[in-house]
Every structure is written in structure tokens, then in C-alpha cells.
Amino acid sequence: MSFSQFMLDPRLQQGVASLGFTQPTPIQTATIPAAMTGQDVLGSAETGTGKTAAYLLPLLQKLLATPTRQHAIRVLVLVPTRELALQVAEHAEQLSAHTDLRIAAIFGGMAMHAQENALRRGADIVIATPGRLLDHASRRNMTFASLQTLVLDEADRMLDVGFLPDIRRIVALLPRERQTLLFSATMTSAVLGLAAQVTRQPARIQVEKTATPDAIAQTLFPVPEHLKTQVLQQLLREETMDSVLIFARTKHRADRVAKQLQRVNIRAGVIHGDRSQSQRIAALEDFRRGKSRVLVATDIAARGIDVEGISHVVNYDAPMQAEDYVHRIGRTGRAQAVGRAYTLVTPTDEAMIRKIEMVLRQKLQRRRLDGIDYHASAFVQPDAEAIRRYVEQNRARQKNQATRSA
């Protein structure tokens, strides 16, 4: 089976070939024919399954089959994060490189002016985060009169971060007669409820999940909370870890992990919601090009990261949901490469680990590192800011006492 079966426009075939695609993935095999006919699609697929090309290729094909002189918005793709917007736009540009179709990425964290100019020049496909799209719509920077297709990518994540009201407002701006494609890694009741509102008799497409990725060796490292950093640093020193994606539970913890690694001369970038867009793009590019060996991320910020050759995924913090574990480790072990996933497990994580093992249907290997005193008591790091305030207050008191004595 090859991409030739889809009878794609020769210009798209060139784009497919330039990306090195030879055989379609299961999600592509199922989605492309359905989407080409104009049918709505409700697809369940995770990151790394080829989902983005599965919806881009048929939509690009339809645009090329009905050319227009004006570059009016005919396809709108909604995504949950800025990083995913950039990556989908890049993918669309690569696939359509030999056409005159125009792609625009619209997201927060960057100046409106450049995006306004892109919209003014015209765009056939707009990839956007919901909030920034509504900002532009309120300024009348775009019109949807020519819109043919709406894509909701990673719908579960958009609902997780509270975008449902924005999605409803956007849908109200669109033509009633349109094609809608909705993709989600999980089919929760909330996702199915949204699908019922925005799709009409969709083709249901589900890619079977691999309970345990065969190409990923998974290991648990039981460790007290206060020794996590020591264990992580020793792993990075002792193991051959060329490209490492580390997951932390919160933005603050992601920053702290990155700084601790930088102090011991390990090049580490960080991405999370509080970083500026330019900082996030720079960190991701440094990681992709190998300038940074390590990238520390939160779950939301990491959604959509598609970097080839990640050798290791390290869960500095165990995930909050068992399915998030599968999403995390799925970023290694791709393209027939062997990947490794390490999870640092504290006593409070054990209940979640049991849930993860139930989802995977296997008991995960546990390991301890040599040279670590696992019984060492926690050292409480002095609060430098509190010490500074105490010293200043003490000096002020002494000065006041000296003044009164005089």
C-alpha cells in the first residue's frame, strides 16, 4: 500500500516524497478517503500516528481541485497550543511547497501586527489557537464566508484547558454547511458531546492503541522526593542519553529542574505556558538541532512536540493520568528506533504507577542506581530571600537603637 492509491495531485505527491513518506499509516489510510468525499470525521488517534498529514492531505487536495483567484480562508484548523499551531503550519507548508496555496498560523504570545498582515495578504488555510482567533475575528481581520472545512485537532486537550466556550463562539461564526473533522487522543463524554454539536453523521475512525510500545524500554526508579535531582543528574551522566525530553508536573518545577541541570553544565531548555513565544521557539529549535541535549516541559506545553530522534523520555514527575504516561513516552522509540522511558517514582506516586501498569497490562521493571544513599535525610535548602530580609531588618533595628541611644 502506498500514497499513490489516493490519486493525489502531482504537486502534493512531490511534497509527500520530500518528507520521505512511503506508506500511509493506519489513520491516514482510514481518514484520507473519507475526508476527500467531504464526509465529517470523528477520529481517535494519538500523537505520532501520522494524524496531521491524515487531515492535511485530503484538504489540500480539495483546495487544489477547486482553485480560486482570491486566497480566502477555506480551511480552519483549531489547536490547543502555540507549538502545535506552528508545527501543523510547518507540516502544511512542506506538503504544499509546490503549490501556490497560502498558510497562516495565528496564535497568542506574538504581536498581532504580523498576523494581521498575513491575513490581509490572504490565506487558504488558517491554523489557530481559539483565543487569538477570536481576537482577530473581533477586529474583523478575517471572514469565514468561503470556509469549507473546520478541523478540531487534539479536541480533548482544548477542552482540558477550558476552550469549549471559545470553540462554540467560533463555530457560531462559521457557515452551517461545512465539513468538520474532529480528532482526539481520548473519547471522553465531553469530547463526544462536542462532536455531537459540530459534526453530522461522521465517519468514526479509531486507531488501535498499542498497550505497550515494543520499541520503548521502560524503567521505574523508586526515589524519595528530595533525591530526585541527584538521581536525574546521575542518569544523565552515566547513561548514553543523546536527546532527552523531561516531564515536570508544574511550570515552577520545570524551571527548577532546568536550572539545576544548567548549574552542573548540562545544556537544558525549558518550555511551558509562562515562557514567551520567542523563548519557547528558541528552546524547541535548540533541542531539535542538538544544541541542547535536554528539554524540560510540562504536559500541556509538550503537546504537539514532534522531534525526531528523542532517545529518552524521563518522567521527573509521574503523570496525573495513566493515559498521559502513554502520550509522554510515545515521543521516543519512533521510526524503528529503540527508545527508553525512565520514571522517577516517589512513595506518593505508587497508586498512579499501579494504574499505569494496568493500562499497559504489564509490570514495569524497577531499578536503583549505585552510589546513591537512598536513606539520606532531606536537606532543607535555606531560603536566600528570607535570609536577606532578616539581615536587612536586623540592621534597621540596630540602626534605630543606635539613633535612640544617641
pLDDT band, residue 210 (cuts 50/70/90): very low
Instruction: Provide the pLDDT confidence category of residue 17 given band limits of 50, 70 and 90.
Output: confident
What average pLDDT does range 285-306 have in this prediction?
A: 83
Short-list 118, 65, 55, CA closest to 91? 55
Which residues constitute the domain of residue 323? 216-366
189 and 256 fall within a common domain: no
271-292 in b/e burial notation, b at 16+ Cβ within 10 A?
bbeebeeeebbbbbebbbeeeb
Nearest to 135, CA basis, from 168, 161, 164, 108: 108
Write out the three cell numbers for 148.
469549507
Q: Is residue 360 in some structural domain?
A: yes
User: Taking residues 71-98, what's their average pLDDT?
Assistant: 92
Cα(315)–Cα(99) distance, rounded to whole angstroms?
Answer: 42
Task: Give the residue with greater pLDDT, 330 vs 102.
Answer: 102
What's the chain's length in residues? Answer: 406
220 or 360, greater pLDDT: 220
**325, pLDDT greater than 50:** yes
Strand ordering across the sheet containing 179-184: 103-106, 125-128, 75-78, 149-152, 179-184, 41-44, 203-206
Of 206, 228, 246, the position where a domain reaches its end is: 206
User: In the predicted model, is pLDDT for residue 211 greater than 50?
Assistant: no
- Residues 19, 160, single domain; the answer is yes
**Dihedral (CA of 387, 391, 396, 398) sign:** positive
Q: Domain check: are 200 and 220 in the same one?
A: no
Is there a single domain that holds both residue 56 and residue 183?
yes
- Tell me how far apart the alpha carbons of residues 296 and 251 are, in angstroms, rounded to a whole number: 10
Q: Which of 140, 175, 206 is the last residue of a domain?
A: 206
Tell which residue, 51, 72, 52, has the closest CA to residue 63.
Answer: 72
Q: What is the CATH number of the domain that holds 289?
A: 3.40.50.300
Domain boundary pick from 206, 230, 259: 206
**25: which residues sit within 8 A by CB, 6+ positions away?**
49, 50, 54, 207
Rounded CA gap, 83 and 289, in Å? Answer: 16
Q: DSSP label at 98?
A: T
Q: Are residues 186 and 224 in the same domain?
A: no
- Quick check: is 339 in a domain? yes
Please give the mean pLDDT across all residues of the chain. Answer: 88
Question: Among the residues of 146-188, which ranges form H helices?
Answer: 155-160, 164-173
Lowest-pLDDT range of 26-30, 208-212, 216-220, 302-306:
208-212
State whether 36 and 170 are in the same domain: yes
Do 225 and 312 lie in one domain? The reply is: yes
Domain co-membership, 141 together with 252: no
Burial class (CB in 10 A: 0-12, 13-18, 19+), 201: exposed
Residues 360 and 217: beta-carbon distance below 8 Å: no
Continuous segment of H or E residues that includes residue 222: strand 216-222
Residue 153 to residue 109: CA distance in whole angstroms? 20
Asked if the structure places residue 233 within a domain, the reply is yes
**pLDDT tens digits, 246-279:** 999 999 999 999 999 999 999 999 988 788 778 8
- pLDDT over threshold 90, residue 149: yes
Q: What angle do CA 146, 62, 85 make, to 5 degrees?
A: 70
Categorize the per-residue pLDDT at 54 as very low, low, confident or very high, splitting at 50, 70 and 90: very high
DSSP states of 3-50: GGGG---HHHHHHHHHTT--S--HHHHHHHHHHHTT--EEEE--TTSS
Of 79, 133, 146, 135, give the one whose Cα is nearest residue 106: 133
Mean pLDDT across 93-117: 93
Place of cell 529549535: 285
In a domain, 234, yes or no: yes
Considering the domain architecture, whether residues 176 and 223 belong to the same structural domain is answered as no
In a domain, 123, yes or no: yes
The domain total for the chain is 2
Residue 122 and residue 9 in one domain: yes
Q: State which H helix or E strand residue 244 sits in.
A: strand 244-247
Q: Phi/psi at 137 (nearest 5 deg)?
A: -65, -40
399 occurs within a structural domain: no
Torsion angle, alpha carbons of 316, 320, 323, 326, to 10: 0
Asked, for residue 343, whether it belongs to a domain, the answer is yes
Is residue 115 assigned to a domain? yes
User: Are 38 and 117 contained in the same domain?
Assistant: yes
Q: Do 255 and 354 share a domain, yes or no?
A: yes
Cα separation of 246 and 323, whole Å? Answer: 17
Q: What is the pTM of this model?
A: 0.62
